[in-house]
Amino acid sequence: MSNFKPGEINGIVIKDLVRNEDDRGWLIELFRKDMIEDGIFPQMSYISLTNPGIARGPHEHLDQTDYFCFTGSSTFKLVFWDNRKDSATYKNKMVLNTGENSPMMVIVPPGIVHAYKNTGDKPGLVINLPNRLYAGRGKKEKVDEIRYEDDQNSPFKVD
């Protein structure tokens, strides 16, 4: 049983992304150095495709900040749990819906457990620009991730 309560979570940054459309299609600015602090400046980027009904996470990072961009082509449910004992919003849980009809950027600091699920009816793309290299330089370090997906007793459930 989860003892997290609904509420805002300090440190999560949420910004609507602006879709600039014309007869050629559309363009969305995902990242601008003048939009974020130097400490969370991206060190890499990746794009993933998540099929309908599939969740990624929940997991958390000890040091890494994630910089997610949800632009479509589907809809996603995002769930966050503040697992930082020194946070004023410790034990808060936050849920957002985003994607094709509501594109947004979400910055998730370390210590916040997070997951997303494709709740649409078609595959959806997610872009992440984290401030740490996955598995460090040359992929020779331990991955900064605590995974909860396979823990049946985890308080972190997407549904």
Q: What is the largest CA-CA distance in the chain?
A: 51
Percent of the chain past pLDDT 70, that is, above it, reads 99
| pLDDT at residue 117 in the model | 98
| pLDDT at residue 35 in the model | 84
What is the rounded average pLDDT for all residues in the chain?
A: 94
| pLDDT at residue 76 in the model | 98
| pLDDT at residue 39 in the model | 86
Q: How far apart are CA 156 and CA 151, in angstroms?
A: 9
* Strands 25-28 and 112-118, sheet pairing: unpaired
| pLDDT at residue 72 in the model | 84
| pLDDT at residue 148 in the model | 96
In a domain, 103, yes or no: yes
In a domain, 157, yes or no: no
Question: pLDDT (tens digit, 9 = 90+) per residue, 14-55?
Answer: 999 999 999 999 899 998 889 888 888 999 999 999 999 999
Count of beta carbons in the 10 Å neighbourhood of residue 113: 23
Q: Which domain holds residue 26?
A: 5-134
Question: pLDDT (tens digit, 9 = 90+) per residue, 61-72?
Answer: 999 999 999 998
Residue 1 has pLDDT above 60, yes or no: no
Say how many domains are in the chain.
1
* Strands 55-60 and 5-6, sheet pairing: unpaired
Q: How far apart are CA 103 and CA 18, in angstroms?
A: 7
Angle 28-8-73 from CA coordinates, rounded to 5°: 30
Q: What is the mean pLDDT of residues 105-115?
A: 97
Q: CA 115, 118, 119, 124 torsion: positive or negative?
A: positive
- Here the tokens at position 43 are 């060190």
Write the CB contacts of 111 (distance below 8 Å, at least 6 apart in sequence): 60, 61, 62, 82, 83, 84, 87
Q: Residue 21's domain is classified under what CATH number?
A: 2.60.120.10
Q: Report the side by side order of strands in the sheet with 104-108.
A: 13-16, 104-108, 66-72, 124-128, 46-50
Question: pLDDT (tens digit, 9 = 90+) per residue, 4-23?
Answer: 999 999 999 999 999 999 99
